Chains A and B, each alone.
Chain A
């Protein structure tokens, strides 16, 4: 009886040791495979066509319909307009990046394609105030574009 038990234990032990060797073989296999990572700040992954980064605006296309502002789930867009006769013109187009959740609903709902999602994704700043930006400002993305992949 004891002998059978002993043989069983030894057998389990050998199976266990073999499983460990199989594990070692798996890790050794990957030592000789090329790395899959990128050296981030110097190499960058190209973003897809549909990538949703910061919100961008083509002011000339905007018809001031307020659809984007109504759609935004986090209320990060704030628009004001001037009324001249029957023509509406944009006055301000505030975009509070701090609240933005990059859902892309505003771009989807825009009837003229004035709002787009850019591919800027490195959006850390040192000052919180810089996150509240006016999309009509021509230099609005100077803080980030130099790091963006175009």
Chain B
């Protein structure tokens, strides 16, 4: 221990355990901090408090049975998780889904991306001390999306909607009007966030130039998603490796300049706007047809393996599935985006104040359900 001892008075570093029960560690993350007064000298994350051994469970479930479990990975963006898993299985099975199913998948995935980014924005503001108000605004808007999902698939958090070969149900009648109404409602609200948070002087002072993640370090740490784009890397799977029908829509990829906490926040706000654009175009271009290909309850893919990654709200979610010809996956690896995004944290928080670690962590928007699996 580093002690500087003068005659009677001496100072020493002290150890503080932030989490697993702490209001702003986004779940059950535990950070072991070595503090010199208010300044952080060393940070060691400890994860695994929410480990439910999803990968072991997957080896004991059929391909269809595992879909509800993917809901519980990144539980604020369940649709995107369903999508990632189902697309990986479809790649394994060489299954092509109908055009309508693809459009429905895009609509629900983008709506869920908005919902997830709203939580990210709200909790980030909460972490910076804007007590509850932005969070409540975000949840108010998210509630509208949840209502739409409630009507589409019947659940409000763990949707379990996307199935191998399509989607569970067709869209209910009148839902397209509801979604259009939501888009019209949502656009001015995003401007409200700009006024309330984005360009607020205190907010800027707190988040600008805090936790700067340079481009090369971000790529080296395999940081993905909005956090990578905030560092100035123009990389979005929806544009660069388009899956589903993303290549048919017009949308921009916002990128940041400095890679600081504010940029990571700003990217999310911009992505809400872009997702609204995608949903609007998809609703207008929604083709007719069957929402699902008729496939059996049990799938037995030939012994092979498939890796498929999709752009989740938090980054690139990858599923690596190995099949041995039976109806259970032989091995299923979940490449969780938050896992790699969190790994970079100790690098960024050396020498910042204790208030800033909360800011940096909040700006990465990690989710423990996905990290611990």
Complex: A in contact with B (CB within 8 Å): yes
Number of A-B residue pairs having CB atoms within 8 Å of each other in the complex: 78
B220 within 8 A of A: no
> What 0/1 readout, one digit per residue, does chain A (70-101) give for beta carbons within 8 Å of chain B?
11110000000000000000000000000001
* Residues in A whose Cβ lies below 8 Å from that of B153: 50
Residue of A nearest to B65 (CB): A73
> What 0/1 readout, one digit per residue, does chain A (1-30) give for beta carbons within 8 Å of chain B?
000000000000001110110110111001
What's the nearest-Cβ distance from chain B to residue A82, in Å?
26
**What count of chain B residues pass the 8 Å CB interface test?**
33
Bound together, the chains give a CA A22 to CA B198 distance in angstroms of 11
Chain A: interface size category: 20 to 34
Tell me whether B69 and A52 are in contact (CB under 8 A).
no
- Given A20-B201, A71-B65, decide whether A101 and B150 contact each other with a Cβ distance below 8 A: no
What's the nearest-Cβ distance from chain A to residue B69, in Å?
7
Bound together, the chains give a CA A19 to CA B140 distance in angstroms of 23
Segment from A54-62, A102-110, A123-131, A132-140 that makes contact with B: A102-110
* Residues in A whose Cβ lies below 8 Å from that of B65: 71-73, 105
A48, A67, A105 — most chain B CB neighbours (10 Å): A48
* Residues in B whose Cβ lies below 8 Å from that of A17: 201
A149 within 8 A of B: no
Tell me whether B200 and A23 are in contact (CB under 8 A).
yes
B195 within 8 A of A: yes
Instruction: Known A-B contacts: A23-B200, A50-B150, A105-B68. Give 9 more (CB < 8 A).
Output: A16-B204, A17-B201, A23-B197, A49-B154, A50-B154, A72-B65, A73-B65, A103-B71, A104-B155
Residues of A in contact with B (beta carbons under 8 Å apart): 15-17, 19-20, 22-23, 25-27, 30, 36, 47-52, 67, 70-73, 101-105, 108-109, 117
Residues of B in contact with A (beta carbons under 8 Å apart): 61, 64-69, 71, 133, 137, 140, 143, 150-155, 158, 160, 168-169, 172, 192, 195-197, 199-202, 204, 297
